[in-house]
Structure 1
């Protein structure tokens, strides 16, 4: 190959790498923007009981409990978004989930919304995080004093 040909190939490779990085950056920004919009909706529903009725599929729940559940949902969705965008590693998420799972209202919310999670694609990040929280809550029900060792310890990114 000629020197000029090698330089052209290097240029095209560098350009493709830059394009890929730009695409990834735009994807991350889109995820963050969608997450912000979703959280804004949840917080508006927390502040306005008439909107809260539209954001929750749970019935026979007091307005106060519905607000608590919406706040738990917002907190959980924010943790998933943090992993998806690289703000948290899987191990950092596990640490946060261990503390999150110790709350009795979280356990009640999680139990009452189990049906909603069954619709998630099994290989999705949200499904994997949900399965992890399922394991933690089950283990905490058996032995609440061992909260710091709950979970499946799948390792980075939630894979065994």
Structure 2
């Protein structure tokens, strides 16, 4: 009988120890889950802050770009500094090209900060490039865009190049239906 009591006590101690170990494992798992959830929440907050900072940086850069172009368009001597076109152009044409650049850069910025989808970017560009001066500007700066590779801006530039080809080849005056809007990535 003594042997039975000792075995029973041994089993009780083992069971209690097992339950204690299981409780410890569950408590550790709960703490780890809480820690992981806290880390996930913090990471999401940091990503949102990073996204907001990127938008603020793009907006600031856009503002600075416009200020520089405005100064150049207002002062013929400064406009000459930005004469980077493949063909010689008059002072008037150079100012028009700079304004076309400002329009395109503004559209690009709207897309980058998420105010426009790729489809909307395409549709706005399709309208903007109906203007012959904007098209001339685009063709006059072709070699500068060729140096952009592997960037979002380069990809959007190719999208515009394809659109202009489609518009040139279209046998309709209904330009607003020409070209297939791209899918958003």
Paired residue for 1:49, among 54, 68, 76? 76
Matched position secondary structure for 1:156: coil
Where does the alignment leave 5 or more consecutive residues of structure 2 unmatched? 1-25
Shift of 1:140: 2.2
Instruction: Provide the residue aligned with 1:13 in structure 2.
Output: 40
Q: Aligned partners of 1:47, 1:75: CA distance in 2, in Å?
A: 17
Paired residue for 1:85, among 113, 135, 152? 113
Paired residue for 2:164, among 118, 137, 153? 137
Where does the alignment leave 5 or more consecutive residues of structure 1 unmatched? none
Paired residue for 1:99, among 120, 127, 131? 127
Given the two structures, how large is their TM-score scaled by the length of structure 1? 0.88
Shift of 1:8: 2.5
Shift of 1:154: 2.4
Q: Deviations over 1:61-89 (max 9, x none)?
A: 11111110000001001111111110111
Shift of 1:92: 0.8
Given the two structures, how large is their TM-score scaled by the length of structure 2? 0.77
State whether structure 2 residue 27 is matched by structure 1 residue 4.
no
- Alignment map for 1:113-152 (pairs within 5 Å): 113-121=141-149, 123-143=150-170, 145-152=173-180
Task: Check conservation: 2:122, 2:182, Cα contact below 8 A.
Answer: no
Paired residue for 1:60, among 65, 84, 88? 88
Q: CA RMSD in A?
A: 1.7
Shift of 1:152: 4.3
Q: Aligned partners of 1:55, 1:151: CA distance in 2, in Å?
A: 32
Aligned length: 156
Matched position secondary structure for 1:38: helix
Task: Check conservation: 2:118, 2:182, Cα contact below 8 A.
Answer: no
Shift of 1:52: 1.1
Q: Deviations over 1:94-127 (max 9, x none)?
A: 1111111111111111111111110001x32211
